[in-house]
Amino acid sequence: MSAELKPWRVLASRDLLDASPYLKVRAETVELPDGRRVESFYQVEQSDFALIFAETEDGRVVLLRSYKHGPRRVSLTFPAGMIDPGESSLEAAKRELLEETGYEAAEWTSLGSHVMQGNHRGCAGHMFLARGARRVAEPDSGDMEEMRIELLSRAELVEAAGRNEFAISSMLALLGAALNPELSAALARAARS
């Protein structure tokens, strides 16, 4: 049996860039379990966000098609957005779904929170499965981006993924979690514990 893995210890931290609330960069001095020290292990902080797999009563999934500047192309995304200070991830998910699409959902299940970058953190995405979604208002996101709402079946989502229409890895993670019943059940159990 192998030895227990241990976390790194943060000995010091210094800010290098503060463009709050969107981006912070700092250098940490860390000590590894074997005693070695790394003087500048860079950490990137961005705002955590919620992303939502919202399914209507008739089994259609609410998506957005829009230009995303990171991948520099138009792609499919699930409704998603930044969690405001003092707001829970579920409150943010409900707000973002309504703002971006005009939909509300009757049933919400957390699929957990996951860090986007393994070594630098970046931010955490809080994934939700929302069922019983229905249109109750006109979208009013206030975002700079133009968006088009699309309703796709689960089969059409898989086909779209096969055509590389999702350009953002967190969207593919949510797609995989929502479409795999065993995985979504395990993630929901983990989120409750």
What is the per-residue pLDDT across 75-97, written as a single tens digit (0 to 9) for each? Answer: 999 999 999 999 999 999 999 99
Say whether both 71 and 133 belong to one domain: yes
Say whether both 36 and 68 belong to one domain: no
Say whether both 65 and 83 belong to one domain: yes
pLDDT reading at 117 higher than 90: no
- Give the mean pLDDT of 16-21: 90
**Would residue 4 count as lying in a domain?**
no
Position 76 scores a pLDDT of 96
Position 144 scores a pLDDT of 64
pTM above 0.75, yes or no: yes
Q: How many other CB atoms are found less than 10 A from the CB of residue 44?
A: 17
- pLDDT tens digit sequence for 63-79: 999 988 888 999 999 99
Range of the domain at 27: 9-45
Say whether both 115 and 36 belong to one domain: no
Total domains present in the chain:
2
Say whether both 79 and 160 belong to one domain: yes
Say whether both 54 and 41 belong to one domain: no
Measured CA distances, 130 to 17, 84, 121, 152, 182 (Å): 37, 20, 26, 15, 17
Give 190 or 9, the one with higher predicted confidence: 9
Q: What is the 3-state secondary structure (H, E, C) of the chain?
A: CCCCCCCCEEEEEEEEEEECCCEEEEEEEEECCCCCEEEEEEEEECCCEEEEEEEECCCCEEEEEEEECCCCEEEEECCEEECCCCCCHHHHHHHHHHHHHCEECCEEEEEEEEEEECCCEEEEEEEEEEEEEEECCCCCCCCCCCEEEEEECHHHHHHHHHCCCCCCHHHHHHHHHHHCHHHHHHHHHHHHC
pLDDT reading at 143 higher than 80: no
Mean pLDDT of the chain: 91
